[in-house]
Amino acid sequence: MGSLIAGLLTAVGALPVLLGKTPSRGFRDLALGFAAGVMLAASFFSLIIPALDAAEIYYAGGPVPAGIVCAAILLGMGAIALLNEHLPHEHFAQGREGPEAASLRRVWLFVFAITIHNLPEGMAVGVGFGANGLEGGMPLAIGIGLQNMPEGLAVAVALMGEGYSKWRSWSIAALTGLIEPIGGLFGASIVSVSQILLPWGWRLPPVPCCM
């Protein structure tokens, strides 16, 4: 539920396009900058530090807990890189990436690009709730939800710039946020099944979206 609420805030953030009051480029850039700051804070205070604490429970002090967290960060980066390499998608700025998929409509390539970004966010929230309940998951859900609002607006505005109607742009932006509950369920399940994986699961990083 926490990751679902965080994902739905993507749709809330995109609502201005339905009202015909699209914010200026400067305001959108400011909002995305704020979102990036929120996610950096959440990464350190709600992910990295709790991961170190969890690793110390099983491996005591010394360099081992720090090594586990560093390795988990690299694994998270590698997982995103693999998705980026093997899933056909398209960014607004960089263009098409991944395998060729001529049969897919362009809008789905945009959706896949945002999915690569949103899935680990949902997993992080799920791990937070699965490990420490409201205390562990709520700060992450709030941080990711705040980040999702300007992101949803940016996606909807960019889609309108590609020629899509305001309703379709909003719908697609909202759809991309619904990926997060899937990741949340998966992350919470991992923690519930095996607590020994907790220090690794904390560090499936949400990365601020740079479309």
Distance CA 96, CA 51 (A): 35
pLDDT for residue 210: 44
- Beta-carbon contacts of 22 under 8 Å, excluding residues fewer than 6 positions away, are 16, 157, 160
pLDDT for residue 202: 53
pLDDT for residue 40: 81
Q: What is the dihedral of CA 26, 27, 32, 38, to 10 degrees?
A: 130
For residue 198, give the nearest of 59, 63, 43, 51 by alpha carbon: 51
Q: What is the mean pLDDT of each run of 10 residues along the chain (211 residues)?
A: 84 85 74 77 78 80 86 85 72 60 59 73 80 75 82 80 82 84 81 62 50 46
Q: How far is CA 81 from CA 98, 115, 116, 148, 184, in A?
A: 10, 13, 9, 21, 20
Q: Domain extents for the chain?
A: 2-201
pLDDT for residue 104: 55
- At residue 90, the 3 state secondary structure works out as strand
pLDDT for residue 201: 57
Q: What angle do CA 206, 112, 125 make, to 5 degrees?
A: 25
Q: Are 55 and 65 in contact (CB under 8 A)?
A: yes
pLDDT for residue 211: 46
**Main-chain dihedrals φ then ψ at residue 46, nearest 5 degrees:** -115, -5
Q: What is the pTM of this model?
A: 0.65
For residue 207, give the nearest of 93, 104, 73 by alpha carbon: 73
Concatenated DSSP letters of 21-66: -PPPHHHHHHHHHHHHHHHHHHHIIIIIHHHHHHHHHHH-SSHHHH
Distance CA 130, CA 123 (A): 10
- At residue 190, the 3 state secondary structure works out as helix
Q: How far is CA 5 from CA 66, 104, 177, in A?
A: 32, 29, 9
Distance CA 46, CA 60 (A): 20
